Amino acid sequence: MDVLIKNATVVTGGATGEIINDGALAVQGDTIVAVGKTSDLESVYQTFTVIDGTGKAILPGFINSHTHTVLNVLRGTVEDMEVDSVYMYMTPITFAMNDDERSALAALSCAEAIRSGSTTLVDPGRFVPGYAQTMVDTGLRLYLSETCVDAVTTKIRLGIYEYSHEWGQDFLKRAVALAEEFHGQGNGRIQCQIAAHAPDNCSPWMLAELNDLSQTYGLRRTTHLAQSVGEVEQVRKFAGVTPAEYLRDNDWLGDDVLAAHWSHCTESDIEILAESGVHIAHCPASGSRGGFHRAANMLSIVDAGVNVALGTDNMSEDMFDAMKIGIALNRGKRGDRARPTPGEMLDAATINGAKALGREADLGSLKVGKHADIVMVNLRTPNMTPVINLLSNLVHYGQAGNVEAVMVAGRFLMQDGELTTMNEQDVLRHAQEATVSAWGRLSEIYPDIPALQPPDW
């Protein structure tokens, strides 16, 4: 369907973009073919289906540069616990779940992502070939990866770091299966990456195997980096270096690498990251819920020259929340009222995400020739009125509930507030059922883990 959205406020990008009042945007097939004033475009695109954007803003779709859709099975639990949530809950529960349960949670998170304006998700997960199709069917643009380890991660919560090629081979097999089945699907809408879970749980052998796969399949790479004190200690113990130095020494930094967190990087690590061209996914919302204000150093790494994108990480897919918490957290740490600016936060959520995926040319802003990945936001709501500085409103006060329409590659995934590719009530019911059964199985398989019992719904 060829579409002309008119009478809207067009936000072409963040800090460096322009805002076009009484603007219009034309989409032909999967591509933006015109951006400008309504009065200029109306007469040219007369045959296109017209959508009235009065009182609406059109933005580039958000690129969530780091999330784990399946882990929403833990939503509302580990955020409030004094535990190493990665190894105590996140790892065991994804092993305990079956493919149907992982699919149900992935679908839930995709629904939340669309409702909050995301058009692209970067989602490293476990057992991904078993649920990838569910995500593909939502119509979202996806970067999927099997997040590989050769440390036996189900033992780390017991204080045991044991590295096993046999354990690692299962992950590598799934990484290959995922790439062979899904990479490039949907006219390139689905991309695969090669993922190392984190420096503490990947030996040099695993990192080399993953580099081979990245070469063989021509795939970009992603990893966690300096996520926790435990990771830093373990890497120091077995390699005598920091996590960033460890990745550098094992050829795992470069401009094809998107690394999440860097919360525990040192100043010299940041120089290493800047020199290597690695991209960072800043995840302020999940980090701060864990009391983790070390994550609030976005500008130190931006000013060092590192491209910083934005992610939600766990328990939420809401990029409005990520921007809002990100700006408050980083300003709070610095005692600074001016930076990061709303434009910088919006860039992190859009164009910087595109750069981090090597897709600056065709994603991340509203420009002629780019993919039509677009969000329409209702400005005629109490929380968005009055409009004086629109970028400031969007970042400080924007909410998922303001999103009215989402388009990916020219296809509406949400229109007039309704999801078009999913039955939302079914998705919600299945996700709750899957959560009940997954938590039940968690305590059967791992009786040492204190379990919660979610209610039937």
Q: Catalog residues that contact Zn ion under the rule CB under 5 A.
A: 313
Name residues whose C-beta falls within 8 Å of residue 361's C-beta, 6 or more positions apart in sequence: 370
CB 312 within 8 A of CB 319: yes
Name residues whose C-beta falls within 8 Å of residue 326's C-beta, 6 or more positions apart in sequence: 282, 284, 285, 298, 310, 340, 345, 348
CB 21 within 8 A of CB 56: no
First to last CA, the chain: 39
Rounded CA-CA distance 457/454 in Å is: 9
Cβ-based nearer residue to Zn ion, 94 or 297: 94
CB-based closest residue to Zn ion: 313
CB of 40 to Zn ion, least distance (A): 44
Cβ-based nearer residue to Zn ion, 220 or 370: 220
Cβ-based nearer residue to Zn ion, 287 or 364: 287
- Residue 303: count other Cβ atoms within 10 Å of its Cβ: 11
Based on C-alpha coordinates, what's the Rg of the chain?
Answer: 21
Choose among 41, 32, 38: nearest CA to 7.
38
CB of 287 to Zn ion, least distance (A): 10
Rounded CA-CA distance 135/120 in Å is: 11
CB 67 within 8 A of CB 420: no
CB of 71 to Zn ion, least distance (A): 8
Cβ-based nearer residue to Zn ion, 243 or 410: 243
Cβ-based nearer residue to Zn ion, 231 or 404: 231
CB of 46 to Zn ion, least distance (A): 47
CB of 85 to Zn ion, least distance (A): 11
Rounded CA-CA distance 250/195 in Å is: 14
CB of 362 to Zn ion, least distance (A): 26
Cβ-based nearer residue to Zn ion, 225 or 419: 225
CB 226 within 8 A of CB 243: yes
CB 240 within 8 A of CB 233: no
CB of 295 to Zn ion, least distance (A): 12
Rounded CA-CA distance 8/113 in Å is: 23
Rounded CA-CA distance 215/368 in Å is: 32
Cβ-based nearer residue to Zn ion, 91 or 352: 91
What string of H, E and C letters represents the secondary structure of 283-314? Answer: CHHHHHHCCCHHHCCHHHHHHCCCCEEECCEC
CB of 195 to Zn ion, least distance (A): 10
CB 233 within 8 A of CB 198: no
CB of 220 to Zn ion, least distance (A): 16
